[in-house]
Every structure is written in C-alpha cells, then in structure tokens.
Amino acid sequence: MNKFLCLLVLPFLTYGQLDLEKAIKFIDQKEFVQAEEILLAYVNNHPENMLGIELLGDSYGHQKKWDEAIYQYKKLVDYKPENANYHYKYGGVLGMKALMVNKFKALMIIGDVKASFLKAAELDIEHIDVRWALVELYMQLPGVIGGSKNKALKYASQLENLSKVDGYLAKGYIYELDKEPELAEKHYKQALKVGGSVTCFEKLTSFYENNNQPQKAINNLENAYEKHNKNAMHYQIGKVCADYNIQLEKGERCLLMYIENHSVKDGVPIEWAYFRLAQISKNKLDKVGALKWIDKALAQRHDFEEAQEEKSKILAL
C-alpha cells in the first residue's frame, strides 16, 4: 500500500520540480512574465515551498512589481527569519519601493530597509552584497535620517576584509560621493591593481568622466581593451570622444569597429553607436554625415528620443 502511494505522489513531485526548472530557465533568459505565470500556479499549489516563493519574488522584482515582490519576500522572512539572503532581498525591494513613492512615504519605509539589511549583515558575516547595499544606503541617505559616511566606511572595511577588490571599490565610491577625488582615484586604482576586472576598469573610467577628465578615461579604456579585448570598450572610447569633442578620428574608428563586430553580448544597442557617430560628425561640422548617422540610429528605433533631439540640433547647424 505504501509503495502504491509513493507511485502516486512521485509524478506530482516530478512535475513540480520541472515547473521550477522551467521557471529558473525563463528567469535566466530574462523572460520574467513567463516565469511569473509558472510560479504563480506553482506557489498556489505549494504555498510553503520557499524556493518557489523566492523565485516568484525574483520574477516580480525583475519586472519592478515592487509591492508583489515585497509580499513574497516578507513571507520568506516570516517563514525563516534566520536566513540572511531573505532579509537582503526583502530590504532591497523595500528600498526600490521607497524610490517610487513620495518623500513622506519613503521615510516610513527607510527604517525597515535599514533594519532588513542590518539583520542580513548580522546573520551572515560574509554576505558581500548586503554590505555593498549598506554602503550605498548610508551614503545616499541625508544625515538627518540616518546617512553616515563613517558607517559607510565601516561596511566598506568589512568588505575589504572579505574581498580586497570590493573594499577598494566601495571606498572609492564613498570618497567620490564625498567630493574627495584624490582618495577616490587612489582606491579605484587599488581595486584595478588587485582585481583588473572589466568592472574595475569601468568604475575608474566612470570616475574620470564624472570628474571631467576625458583623456584619462580614454587611456584607461585603451588599457582595458588591451587586457580584456572586449568590443564594448570600442563603444566606450567613441562615447567619450563624442561627449567631450576630443580625438574625434580615434572615436570614429572605434565606433566603426564596434559596429563591424557588434553582437548582443556587447550590451549597448547598435543604434547608440550610430548616435555617437552622428555626434562626432556634428562636432566636425559635417552636417551631411551627421544626418546620415542619426537617420541610421532612428531607423533602428523610431522612438529613440535622444536621437530625435540630436537630429534637431544637427538640422540647426
């Protein structure tokens, strides 16, 4: 009899497992609506399955359905309050919700965001993501509602103990926001020296752009290309050249190489390369060339607002 019952139950367990695997595949492919449909049915049939609830919360979060994600992650926190990652995810979607509402409602949410992140950090002394979240939270909040550079530095130091690269990047971020560019550059360079990843190069490039140092940004991007040979860096060089009206020939060559070797893995849609080429042509006072490239950008995407605005500027030459 027991063997017979097992045979009856086994197919349902298998089907349920298959549903979760399908949902995970959809999430990996960024097909979040399809994942949501599967997971809603699954969670309705398995209301205490924490993986199903977590995945459903993830699918909502990716779609910016913050209220729905909050509801699912709150269930996880209530079911298993000792799980650091549940507190981290719950605090994260609460924080995103706070960005979408008025200041008064946001103030009511921020306390719960902070409490969730702090609980996650307490529960897992090696949780890197939540320490990054706390660094960003303490630097973004005004002092009167709990913002604190010293507390941000505390969690950046914890990050440094867990991962030198993350610690240096976090400190670079803190000093950049605190208008201490020399210290920011020092820590971004330390991260690059230790890690050398694409992310490290990107952070230092962004710092140079934010501080109106385009030549340093270009030099850093060229070093990044030598190390990583990523086509996306051709676009980034072209972008800096176009934005700052410098080394226009180099910018043009890089953008043409980006277009020639473009694939979806590069991240930046090809119409943006056409847009940057139009900017470069405009900077050269080449109205015909600029119109050619901006029209190619608009042919790729008719609702490209930045390209529409750029075309108006080109026509005014």
Tokens standing for residue 132: 């990054």
- The pTM assigned to this predicted structure is 0.86
Tokens standing for residue 12: 């349902």
Instruction: Say whether 17 sits in a helix, a strand or coil.
Output: helix
The sign of the CA dihedral 100, 106, 111, 112 is: negative
- Domains of the chain plus CATH, in order, are 127-230 (1.25.40.10)
Distance CA 209, CA 40 (A): 44
Spell out the residues 6+ positions from residue 188 whose beta carbon is closer than 8 angstroms to its own: 168, 169, 172, 200, 203, 204, 207
Residue 3's pLDDT is what?
A: 43
**Per-residue pLDDT tens for 189-232?**
999 999 999 999 999 999 999 999 999 999 999 999 999 999 99
Residue segments in the chain with a per-residue pLDDT below the cut of 70: 1-16
Contact call for residues 40 and 56 (beta carbons, < 8 A):
yes
- Side-chain-side CA neighbours of residue 186 (13 Å): 7
Alpha helices in the chain (DSSP H): 2-28, 32-45, 50-62, 66-79, 84-100, 103-123, 128-140, 149-162, 164-177, 181-194, 198-210, 214-228, 232-244, 248-260, 270-283, 287-300, 305-315
**Per-residue pLDDT tens for 159-176?**
999 999 999 999 999 999
- Side-chain-side CA neighbours of residue 88 (13 Å): 19
